[in-house]
Structure 1
Amino acid sequence: MASADYNKELHIALLAVQRASLLTKSVFHSHSKGTLDKADASPVTIGDFGAQALIISALQHNFPGDEIVAEEEAKDLREKNSVKQTVWDLVQQAKLEDKSGEEALGGGIKDADSMLDIIDKGDSKGGSKGRIWAIDPIDGTKGFLRGGQYAVCLALMVDGDVKVGVLGCPNLPVDDSEALTENIGADASDAEGKGVLFSAVQGKGADSRPLGKGALAKESKISMKAVSNISDATFCESVEAGHSSQGDAANIAKKLGITKPSVRMDSQAKYGSIARGAGDLYLRLPVKKDYVEKIWDHAAGDLIVREAGGQVTDVEGKRLDFSVGRTLQRNKGVIAAPKDVHDTVIKAVSEVLGGK
């Protein structure tokens, strides 16, 4: 049953992402992460499949009429019985670790074969009508595999507009005031003091809370840090050069007078980090003309940053448009920054990219 104020949607999303994050943490610590190769050559792990199954199961139990856009499909698992069994065991383990969410999230998945059917429920084409959830079960899979930052991501869009966003970031510090360091994107851990859930509901601001087990921890309001002198700003970008033009980002930083090295990390952990003021800017610059972003890579982070007082647009200053399917086909790149300096950043971006 949907709620008018999205309180129920937020609660279920937080519980589902927390449970899925517990599953990913158990895989993060294993030596064999069960890597498979999809047709597009990007790595997929048993953690992706397990996390997606848990989240979709929770959404179907609570909002059976909603559509779901999710990154993974189960055909690879259908062809690999041993991997399917491993994913099923992880799903069962996560539920045992997180019993307190059982009533809210539902009894869920009956067996390994029904788990595959649930994974495949994320096949919505998206669009501008109705309630559609976007899931990235492990955003930043390469970071996850190399022991860096990653995020479990979930967002609800209603008629193409993002209303609820949740990010689970097991390897980020709980402390919102802890500044980003250059090496945060590598050699990460979920040791004591790590693991945070970011969330936002449209019009209600953004929050963070420690990632735990069972009942949700108390939330704290977060907000973007005011940037009085943009040359003092810290900017985040992707680790993978194939995801964002690092050379262009360096030239933009130079134009803005920024001398600090960029902080490179995988996943929407970048959105969460700037939303709470640990960083200031997030630049994701097109690497080629035909590259199109996926909605699940940005929907939750976009809302969280905007509700924390920031502005998120593409490189031309247009709002990200989540209403046209599974991709952001009307946008190029992403610029996220505090509102008072966003225009300045866009101007620098335009000058660098326009001069090419």
Structure 2
Amino acid sequence: MPTFAEDLAVALRLADAADGITRARFLASDLVVDRKPDRTPVTDADTAVEDAVRAVLAQRRPDDEILGEERGGTIGAGRTWVLDPIDGTKNFLRGVPAWATLIALVDGGVPVVGVVSAPALGRRWWASAGEGAWVAAEGAVAPRRLRVSAVGQLADAYLSTTDLNAWTTYHSRERYLALVESCWESRAFGDFWQYCLVAEGALDIGVDPIANAWDLAAVQVLVTEAGGRFSDVDGKAGFDHGSGIATNGALHDAALAVLRRT
């Protein structure tokens, strides 16, 4: 069996391939945009990235399973690569640079390798089990190891979500607003970026009332390897329960208590 270090090297190579496609298609005048049955947008770049990543995996990890946002699949009992070719497709097609390719390896139901590559932001984050979480910034001399913040009180916390309207549809808008009122500042960096910022210690809480496995598998590794904590909004540990909340760990129970309050 390959080591996690070897798997991380493969994941970084996959991210390189993805970046080559997304850089070329971002802001392209001939970008092809369609809508999936759930009315969410998909571009020709989304499908091209997933197809390219699957092709590399077929060569490098032919025995592993794959779950991707655009081409489907399932998470097996063993090793599964979980792919979001472009997280933040709405940003991508509108010309907003906050989008990324998310690549994770899940082993026995637990994410053990995660890569988040955001070339338009000039950032790439990665982590593997037991080896910490890291970020490389464009132009930086060396990668920087990540560590969550030491903020210990909600009243001092920075909070982010993706879309306030989603709380109305999938959870309790009032409970999220109660969490906003409990914190010092709230933002909406959204999608992958808020979780990366939690891992960096720039934010203290990132939360989404609805999210898919491919949205969360990679960022769970980042957050936990940076010393944080990750669960769904009901407190169940894991990335595949339909929602996500990442914190610096110290604030997790307090944040959940506000979201659960009736």
Does the pair score TM above 0.5? yes
CA contact (8 A) 1:167 1:197 kept: yes
Correspondence 1:195-214 to 2 at 5 A: 195-210=122-137
**Superposed structure 1 runs of 4+ greater than 6 Å apart:** none
For residues 247 and 21 of structure 1, do their structure 2 counterparts lie closer, same or farther at Cα, with a shift above 3 Å needed? farther
1:338 aligns with 2:262: no
Tell me which amino acid in the other structure corresponds to 2:150.
A
CA contact (8 A) 1:166 1:300 kept: yes
Alignment partner, residue 6 of structure 2: 8
Q: Structure 1 residue 247: deviation in Å?
A: 4.8
Alignment partner, residue 83 of structure 1: none
For residues 219 and 345 of structure 1, do their structure 2 counterparts lie closer, same or farther at Cα, with a shift above 3 Å needed? same
Q: Structure 1 residue 296: deviation in Å?
A: 0.6
For residues 332 and 155 of structure 1, do their structure 2 counterparts lie closer, same or farther at Cα, with a shift above 3 Å needed? closer
What TM-score do the two structures reach when normalised by structure 1?
0.67
CA contact (8 A) 1:230 1:341 kept: yes
What TM-score do the two structures reach when normalised by structure 2?
0.90
CA contact (8 A) 2:27 2:93 kept: no
Within 2, Cα distance between the matches of 1:40 and 1:332?
A: 15
Q: Which runs of 5+ in 1 are unaligned?
A: 74-122, 171-189, 287-292, 322-327
Q: Structure 1 residue 163: deviation in Å?
A: 1.0
Q: Structure 1 residue 332: deviation in Å?
A: 5.1
CA contact (8 A) 2:198 2:206 kept: yes
The DSSP-based 3-state class of the residue aligned with 1:242 is: helix
Q: Over the residues paired in the alignment, what is the CA RMSD in angstroms?
A: 2.2
Alignment partner, residue 283 of structure 1: 207
1:316 aligns with 2:234: yes
Alignment partner, residue 15 of structure 2: 17
CA contact (8 A) 2:166 2:209 kept: no
Within 2, Cα distance between the matches of 1:317 and 1:340?
A: 14
CA contact (8 A) 2:114 2:127 kept: yes
Q: Which has the larger radius of gyration?
A: 1
For residues 229 and 266 of structure 1, do their structure 2 counterparts lie closer, same or farther at Cα, with a shift above 3 Å needed? closer
Alignment partner, residue 125 of structure 1: 74
**Equivalent pairs: percent with the same residue?**
29
Within 2, Cα distance between the matches of 1:38 and 1:332?
A: 19
Alignment partner, residue 215 of structure 2: 297
Residue among 245, 248, 256 paired with 2:175: 248
Tell me which amino acid in the other structure corresponds to 2:243.
G
More strand by share: 2
Tell me which amino acid in the other structure corresponds to 2:213.
I
Alignment partner, residue 39 of structure 1: 37
Q: Would you say how many aligned residue pairs link Structure 1 and Structure 2?
A: 258
Within 2, Cα distance between the matches of 1:248 and 1:238?
A: 15
Alignment partner, residue 220 of structure 1: 144
